[in-house]
């Protein structure tokens, strides 16, 4: 009988440890794991050619943008500004440029009225697209990607300082300052890569999985 009591005591202790891991300690372990992945990810060598050889070096000029695909004198940047303005934008006399409007930037949770304060961001930056498989694309496909108006998540008008802070980083090295948009940002990043058949490197994939795992439980 005493032996059964001891076994029950060990089981109770194991259950207690499991509950602890599911609770605060579990979150601590997960957070530390994410921090570890992040620290590994921001290393300069993570996406270098040492680990991810490229068919050709990245050159921004090899990804032509902004073009006027439909010949209406509005280039891709202007088209995005017109489409995303929350009120009818004010155009130049010739209709080729946007002079004013109202835009909401989810990256910073801020509204803008002056288009000069905005950059049109490639959701997955050109440099990242190049490293993720675009280095093997021909010029026509690179141009199509750089000017993609076929999906609202490909290009987005945002605060230019946030866009320049992002540079060509992936979600492991940069997330929007607005916390409330981070889950959607990672989801849309991943969706954009899938639409264009672009790869995630291993650390990027682990990080995106972890972020979306947390998001699912927070939202749930």
Q: Is residue 49 included in any domain, yes or no?
A: yes
Residue-wise pLDDT tens digits, 45-82: 566 665 667 888 899 999 999 999 999 999 999 999 99
Q: Chain-centre distance of CA 218, in angstroms?
A: 19
Q: Is residue 20 included in any domain, yes or no?
A: no
Domain that includes residue 215, residue range: 25-219
Question: Which pLDDT value is given to residue 212?
Answer: 93
Name the percent of the chain lying above pLDDT 90.
Answer: 67
Name the percent of the chain lying above pLDDT 70.
Answer: 75
Question: Which pLDDT value is given to residue 4?
Answer: 37
- Confidence bin at 202 (pLDDT 50/70/90): confident
pLDDT at 195 over 60: yes
Q: Is residue 2 included in any domain, yes or no?
A: no
Domains in the chain, number: 1
- Confidence bin at 99 (pLDDT 50/70/90): very high
Residue-wise pLDDT tens digits, 19-49: 544 555 456 556 655 665 555 555 555 666 6
Question: Which pLDDT value is given to residue 21?
Answer: 44
Q: How far apart are CA 185 and CA 197, in angstroms?
A: 18
- Confidence bin at 183 (pLDDT 50/70/90): very high
């Amino acid at each position: 009988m005493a032996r059964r009591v001891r076994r029950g005591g060990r089981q109770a202790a194991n259950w207690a440890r499991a509950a602890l891991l599911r609770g605060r300690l579990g979150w601590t372990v997960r957070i530390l794991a994410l921090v570890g992945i992040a620290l590994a990810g921001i290393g300069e060598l993570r996406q270098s050619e040492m680990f991810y050889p490229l068919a050709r070096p990245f050159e921004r000029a090899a990804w032509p943008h902004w073009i006027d695909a439909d010949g209406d004198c509005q280039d891709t940047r202007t088209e995005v500004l017109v489409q995303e303005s929350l009120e009818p934008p004010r155009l130049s006399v010739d209709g080729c440029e946007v002079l004013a409007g109202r835009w909401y930037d989810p990256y910073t949770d801020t509204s803008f009225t002056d288009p000069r304060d905005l950059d049109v961001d490639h959701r997955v930056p050109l440099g990242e697209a190049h490293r993720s498989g675009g280095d093997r694309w021909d010029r026509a496909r690179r141009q199509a990607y750089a000017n993609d108006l076929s999906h609202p998540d490909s290009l987005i008008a945002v605060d230019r300082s946030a866009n320049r802070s992002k540079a060509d980083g992936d979600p492991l090295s940069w997330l929007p300052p607005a916390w409330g948009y981070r889950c959607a940002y990672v989801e849309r990043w991943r969706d954009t890569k899938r639409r264009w058949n672009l790869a995630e490197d291993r650390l990027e994939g682990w990080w995106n999985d972890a972020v979306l795992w947390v998001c699912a439980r927070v939202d749930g």
